[in-house]
Amino acid sequence: MKSFFASLLGSLVGLFLFGFLMLLIVVGVVGAVASLGEKPVVVPKGSYLVFDLTANIHDSVRSPNPFEVLEAIENPEHPKNLQLRAVTRALEAAAKDDRIKGMLITGNISASGYASSFAALAEVRRALVEFKKSGKPVMAHLFRADANDLYLASTADEILLDPYGQVDVAGLASEGVFFAGAMEKVGLEAQVVRVGKYKSAIEPFTSREMSPASREQLQVLLDSAWTTLRDEIASARGLAPDALQALVDSERFFSGEAAVKAGLVTRVAYQDEVIDELKRRTESKPDAENFARVSMGSYAKRAHPTAPKSASGKAAGVVAVVYAEGVIVDGEGSEGEIGGKRFARELRRLRQDPKVSAIVLRVNSPGGSASASEHILREVRLAREAKPVVVSMGGYAASGGYWISSFGDHVFAEPTTITGSIGVFGLLFNAAELTQKLGVSFDVVKTGRYADTLSISRAKTEGELALIQRDVDQIYRDFLSRVAEGRKLDPALVAELAQGRVWIGADALTRGLVDEMGGLEDAIQYAAKKAGVDENYTVRERPAHKPFAESFAEALQGLEVRIFGHGPVGRVLARMESELEQLNTFNDPRGIYARLPFEFVLR
């Protein structure tokens, strides 16, 4: 027996030492790769800038996941993440860079989370249009393109499609996942209190299908977003919007010559033919492996327009851009979340920093914790007393995302921004039947009638639900008053616009919920002008890149094995996992939330 335990102990120690050694190797390799990434970007004269749409385009500055850095060893030209402002500034710089001869757009938009939203794509599209004004040729080569891909690629002088590729312009759809039936089978009940007939965030747990009110608002959003995409694609391709709609309604998939005949692309070409043509354009050697090129990811790291300077050579002012991207949660939050405590602290620092002349709050959030939203708004209001605070809405600025935006001096949104959703709900779970099936029981000792109200071991009583409803009603009234005061609107009008209803950016403008259509750069320029530093300023972005060690530690904490795969079963399970993971963001200490429906995706 002793020899058995000695052998077991020795094996465990060996495994530990092996794991520790492998960790050191990984840290060393990743660190080396990360340091290589800091080397200056080499741009050969006459290069084409290659914009691969496959990368996720985030609003905020993303610290690279060290494990993603390892992937760069195998495929250094295709970063997994790009930052919106880095892309638009790179396009601005490339237009003036005499080393850049033209551009190639390729790949497919395959966004995750809140990346590559319609609002972000709209800003990228405007930057592509500005690049074209330089007179440099823009070519797009696509294999399988949907409406989002075509939305950006249509800015090109010519669109080439692989002979076996397809253009898929079927319009837009948003499909929800509902768990009520599954919850009923396992014995899990969701108890809900809410305000606003359009506040449909709880429907996945209480229904088997969309409510009429939810379907109504979603249809309006889809129609408006699709009209924007369709009309801009049609204009770029020399088609009438009605003609493009007729194509969409007649046939979903357009392959090869059919896409050419429909006017969706210019011509067909295999990848090797595109490479050979670009070799000629860039005067590369015929036997070279590829044409002279630089990827968007590499170029964006170093190539930025020169910041304006004062006569002394120093920046006269600083416009701080602080990114609120993700679900709003109580506490510090993690990667991809807006921690109320952490974000409020960042705003406080910027408010108290005498070097910061103005603040731009970039919001790309469906909301979340009501208390965290209020803590953030408090700091927005205090900052506004000290210096200009301008809001730039990205893909989402709804519910709690609108709450934190409501006191901006000026609010910009894109026509396709999803905003509004002024409503509140409480979500509680009763797992009594489920635990009984599992043979698990609960018992409680308490000193007050309501001490165990938030327990999941039993259903809430009518009295307890009444207490929570009272809390929800009060927070909803607070929400209405914040919007009325911050937006200087009649409270009666705000009440009419609220009820949890979601508005698209263009409609929000006509109703006074936002001030102007425009992107992040428009908001930055407006803030600089309002602060009186529009001729001489630099931009400081927060949060900034994290130190390597911190990013590596977070990556280790979040490391998990994915076993679902990429087939149809895997996609279904991954979607369900994504929906259920949102439950972890429901951490408001009062259990009350202001947020959009889960995975409210218009793609």
Query: Which tens digit of pLDDT belongs to each residue from 391-419?
Result: 999 999 999 999 999 999 999 999 999 99
Task: State the chain's mean pLDDT as an integer.
Answer: 84
209-240 per-position pLDDT tens digit = 998 988 999 999 999 999 999 999 999 999 99
The verdict on whether 199 is a catalytic residue reads: yes
User: Do both 494 and 423 map to the same domain?
Assistant: yes
Q: What span, in angstroms and rounded, lies between the C-alpha atoms of 568 and 574?
A: 10
User: Do both 543 and 508 map to the same domain?
Assistant: yes
Q: What span, in angstroms and rounded, lies between the C-alpha atoms of 425 and 192?
A: 7
What is the DSSP code string of 341-365?
HHHHHHHHHHHH-TTEEEEEEEEEE
The reported pLDDT for the residue numbered 22 is 54
Closest CA to 581 of 327, 266, 258, 212: 327
Q: Is residue 268 in some structural domain?
A: yes
Mean pLDDT of 543-565: 49
How many residues in total does the chain contain?
Answer: 603
513-535 per-position pLDDT tens digit = 999 999 999 999 999 999 999 88
Q: Which of 399, 406, 421, 551 is catalytic?
A: 399
Q: Greater confidence, 532 or 30?
A: 532
Share of the chain above pLDDT 90, in %: 57
User: Do both 296 and 376 map to the same domain?
Assistant: no
The reported pLDDT for the residue numbered 81 is 86
User: Do both 43 and 111 map to the same domain?
Assistant: yes
59-71 per-position pLDDT tens digit = 988 765 555 555 5
CA angle (91, 93, 97) in 5-degree steps = 115
Q: Is residue 271 in some structural domain?
A: yes
The reported pLDDT for the residue numbered 440 is 84
User: Do both 287 and 334 map to the same domain?
Assistant: no
CATH number of the domain at 359, please.
3.90.226.10
The reported pLDDT for the residue numbered 564 is 45
Cα distance from N-terminal residue to C-terminal residue, the chain: 62
pLDDT of residue 173 exceeding 90, the answer is no
The 10 Å Cβ neighbour count of residue 304 is 15
Helices (H), 112-211: 118-132, 147-153, 180-186, 203-206
Look at residues 240, 271, 302 and tell me which one is the last residue of a structural domain.
302
Query: What is the domain range of residue 90?
Result: 33-170+252-302
User: Do both 297 and 330 map to the same domain?
Assistant: no
Q: Return the minimum-mean-pLDDT range out of 34-43, 399-408, 532-541.
A: 34-43
For helices 548-557 and 66-74, angle between their N-to-C axes, nearest 10 degrees: 100
Mean pLDDT of 236-264: 93
| Structural domains counted in the chain | 2
pLDDT of residue 73 exceeding 80, the answer is no
Judge residue 286's burial from the number of C-beta atoms within 10 Å of its C-beta, 0-12 exposed, 13-18 middle, 19 or more buried. Answer: exposed
The reported pLDDT for the residue numbered 199 is 76
pLDDT of residue 589 exceeding 80, the answer is no
User: Do both 259 and 408 map to the same domain?
Assistant: no
The reported pLDDT for the residue numbered 571 is 46
Q: What span, in angstroms and rounded, lies between the C-alpha atoms of 85 and 397?
A: 18
Mean pLDDT of 387-391: 98
User: Do both 372 and 461 map to the same domain?
Assistant: yes
Whole-structure pTM value: 0.83
Look at residues 243, 271, 302 and tell me which one is the last residue of a structural domain.
302
The reported pLDDT for the residue numbered 496 is 94
The reported pLDDT for the residue numbered 203 is 87
Q: Which of 101, 199, 279, 530 is catalytic?
A: 199
Q: Greater confidence, 41 or 95?
A: 95
User: Do both 292 and 364 map to the same domain?
Assistant: no
466-488 per-position pLDDT tens digit = 999 999 999 999 999 999 999 99
User: Do both 523 and 383 map to the same domain?
Assistant: yes
Q: Greater confidence, 145 or 28?
A: 145
The reported pLDDT for the residue numbered 535 is 87
Mean pLDDT of 297-321: 69
Q: Is residue 469 in some structural domain?
A: yes
Q: Is residue 160 in some structural domain?
A: yes
Q: Is residue 576 in some structural domain?
A: yes
User: Do both 295 and 384 map to the same domain?
Assistant: no
Q: Which range among 35-39, 127-131, 287-291, 331-335 has the greatest average pLDDT? A: 127-131
Q: Which two tokens stand for residue 244?
A: 């493009």
Q: Is residue 346 in some structural domain?
A: yes
- Give residues with Cβ within 8 angstroms of 77, minimum separation 6: 50, 52, 295, 297, 298
User: Do both 378 and 461 map to the same domain?
Assistant: yes
Q: Is residue 175 in some structural domain?
A: no
Mean pLDDT of 578-603: 60
Q: Is residue 181 in some structural domain?
A: no
If DSSP codes are grouped into helix, strand and coil, which group holds residue 248? helix
The reported pLDDT for the residue numbered 15 is 53
